[in-house]
């Protein structure tokens, strides 16, 4: 029997919850006991759970006491602890940031692992996203360390302010160091990401293991009472005398809200009985884009839209269950494996229709669900046409896609990853 350390390094989901990455990480923490019981290597060995989070002061608007306490409790219950690691961000800056922050965060995790290395027979590091991709570069000779790097975004897919030659360089350098190390692997969150990693980044198939984005239905975010759901809807000032259109995710260019607002303005001309709800957290958003969105919203008719700019972790669940919900829109320009869509497919009623951009990850998710209408050439005009079509669509025979269970996904990935270990 070995003493195994399960180390989770993530910029969100441990003491905050503002991004899709954070939701995945938080789901892992919430479901860790189930994962441990179903994974032979964890079940049959003494295990410590260690969570490494970049420093975030309690005064930060991103800090979440409930999430931190939950992480601490589960770590302590599993012989471990929550550790605050230093990075170049001081807590007032964006924890994600950029090149220097990514290097400092990876180096900080590498230093922590090196300092505790001799205590364990095996260290399994779940390194989430680009910010923690470089740990192996700083730990080339730690053979008891197994790195599972899980990229949630990639420079060759995400055409945003962080996708430049420097990001591609750090991704490729990190991948090279992982491919040189026998025990390390790369977890892919969707089949489309697997294809990009293999074809565009040259990752060997044997290095690619599925950790497919999925839903943990037992999460506290999905277990709320009818009265709480009603209060959330009321407190959010959502019009209940009209049909609801809903879209949510971070307020960034990627999500296409600028196109959606333009499309909705056109849609309203013939469909005045609809109300748009946008849940768009701005914590990690460029000010220029947020200002653009607010200007567009100001041009819409009064009381035709509810725009919410702070993350409310249970509000999507409440809206997805509301009887007035008719359309859910996903006008993303690029994606990895969006959890918003998985939640919508899991919880929206059968009479709710979806309009989405026809990019590979979304086509993949919707291929088994007849409620979706893909938009091939994403423009405000084509999006409006899709909304018109969806508003008239009636679902008689429902063909619903099956959303993978989070525990199933991570147990499968972990079992594949640890196939060669004799513990």
How many C-beta neighbours within 10 Å does residue 212 have? 20
Give me the domain span that covers residue 208: 3-214+405-417
Q: Cα(276)–Cα(297) distance, rounded to whole angstroms?
A: 11
Does a structural domain hold residue 398? no
- CA proximity to 402, closest of 225, 197, 212, 187: 212
Longest dimension (CA), the chain: 68
**What is the number of structural domains in the chain?**
2
Burial label, 340 (beta-carbon count in 10 A; 0-12, 13-18, 19+): buried
pLDDT over 60 (residue 1): no
Report pLDDT for 397.
57
Report pLDDT for 238.
87
Range 16-26 average pLDDT? 94
Between 46-55, 96-105, 321-330, the lowest mean confidence (pLDDT) is in 96-105
Q: Which two tokens stand for residue 168?
A: 């591609």
Q: How far is CA 422 from CA 44, 121, 418, in A?
A: 11, 12, 9
pLDDT over 90 (residue 342): yes
Q: Which helix (H) or strand (E) holds 193?
A: helix 191-199
Does a structural domain hold residue 397? no
Does a structural domain hold residue 423? no
Q: How far is CA 273 from CA 197, 245, 270, 302, in A?
A: 45, 11, 9, 13
List the CATH number of the domain containing 109: 3.40.50.2000
Range 333-356 average pLDDT? 92
Does a structural domain hold residue 272? yes
Q: Cα(363)–Cα(275) distance, rounded to whole angstroms?
A: 26
239 and 367 fall within a common domain: yes
205 and 65 fall within a common domain: yes
β-bridge partners, 215: 405
238 and 317 fall within a common domain: yes
Report pLDDT for 179.
96
Report pLDDT for 2.
72
Given a contact cutoff of 8 angstroms between Cβ atoms, the answer to whether 149 and 184 are in contact is yes
Does a structural domain hold residue 26? yes
227 and 345 fall within a common domain: yes
pLDDT over 60 (residue 113): yes
263 and 137 fall within a common domain: no
Q: Cα(139)–Cα(126) distance, rounded to whole angstroms?
A: 15
Query: pTM of the full predicted structure?
Result: 0.92
Does a structural domain hold residue 400? no
Q: How far is CA 285 from CA 99, 220, 299, in A?
A: 18, 26, 21
Q: Cα(90)–Cα(348) distance, rounded to whole angstroms?
A: 40
Range 303-316 average pLDDT? 91
Range 30-54 average pLDDT? 95
- CA proximity to 209, closest of 117, 146, 144, 140: 146
What pLDDT band is residue 133 in, cutting at 50, 70 and 90? very high
- CA proximity to 352, closest of 390, 320, 330, 326: 326
Tens-digit pLDDT profile for residues 147-201: 999 999 888 776 655 556 888 889 999 999 999 999 999 999 999 999 999 999 9
Q: Cα(202)–Cα(196) distance, rounded to whole angstroms?
A: 9
Burial label, 217 (beta-carbon count in 10 A; 0-12, 13-18, 19+): middle
pLDDT over 80 (residue 422): no
208 and 229 fall within a common domain: no
How many C-beta neighbours within 10 Å does residue 63 have? 14
Does a structural domain hold residue 399? no
Query: Within 13 A of 243's CA, how many CA atoms are on the CB side?
Result: 17
228 and 352 fall within a common domain: yes
Tens-digit pLDDT profile for residues 249-302: 999 999 999 999 999 999 999 999 999 999 999 887 889 999 999 999 999 998
Q: Which two tokens stand for residue 116?
A: 């505790």
pLDDT over 90 (residue 403): no
Tens-digit pLDDT profile for residues 44-91: 899 999 999 999 999 888 899 999 999 999 999 999 999 999 999 876
Given a contact cutoff of 8 angstroms between Cβ atoms, the answer to whether 127 and 9 are in contact is yes
């Amino acid at each position: 029997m070995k003493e195994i350390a399960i180390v989770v390094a993530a910029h969100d989901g441990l003491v905050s919850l503002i991004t899709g990455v954070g939701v995945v990480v938080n789901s892992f923490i919430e479901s860790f006991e189930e994962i441990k019981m179903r994974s032979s290597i964890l079940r049959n060995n003494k295990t410590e759970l260690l969570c490494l989070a970049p420093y975030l002061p309690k005064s930060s608007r991103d800090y979440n006491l409930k999430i931190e306490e939950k992480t601490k409790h589960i770590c302590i219950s599993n012989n471990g602890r929550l550790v605050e690691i230093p990075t170049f961000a001081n807590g007032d800056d964006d924890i994600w940031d950029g090149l220097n922050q990514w290097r400092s965060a990876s180096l900080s995790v590498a230093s922590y692992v090196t300092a505790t290395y001799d205590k364990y027979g095996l260290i399994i590091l779940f390194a989430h996203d680009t910010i923690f991709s470089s740990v192996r570069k700083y730990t080339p000779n730690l053979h008891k360390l197994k790195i599972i790097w899980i990229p949630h975004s990639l420079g060759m897919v995400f055409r945003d302010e962080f996708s430049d030659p420097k990001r591609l360089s750090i991704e490729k350098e990190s991948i090279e160091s992982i491919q040189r190390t026998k025990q390390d692997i790369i977890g892919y969150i969707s089949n489309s990401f697997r294809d990009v990693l293999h074809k565009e980044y040259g990752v060997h198939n044997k290095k690619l293991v599925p950790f497919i984005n999925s839903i943990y239905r037992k999460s506290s975010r999905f277990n709320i009472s009818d009265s709480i759901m009603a209060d959330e809807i009321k407190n959010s000032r959502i019009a209940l005398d009209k049909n609801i259109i809903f879209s949510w995710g971070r307020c960034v260019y990627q999500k296409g809200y600028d196109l959606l607002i333009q499309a909705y303005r056109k849609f309203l001309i013939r469909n005045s009985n609809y109300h748009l709800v946008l849940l768009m957290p701005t914590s990690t958003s460029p000010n220029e884009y947020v200002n653009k969105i607010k200007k567009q919203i100001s041009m819409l008719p009064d009381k035709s839209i509810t725009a919410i700019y702070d993350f409310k972790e249970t509000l999507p669940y409440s809206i997805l269950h509301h009887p007035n919900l008719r359309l859910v829109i996903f006008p993303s320009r690029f994606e990895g494996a969006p959890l918003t869509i998985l939640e919508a497919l899991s919880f929206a009623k059968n009479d709710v229709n979806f309009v989405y951009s026809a990019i590979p990850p979304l086509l993949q998710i919707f291929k088994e669900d007849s409620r979706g209408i893909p938009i091939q050439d994403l423009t405000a005009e084509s999006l409006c046409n899709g909304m018109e079509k969806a508003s008239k669509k009636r679902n008689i025979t429902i063909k619903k896609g099956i959303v993978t269970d989070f525990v199933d996904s991570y147990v499968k990935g972990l079992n594949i990853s640890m196939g060669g270990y004799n513990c």
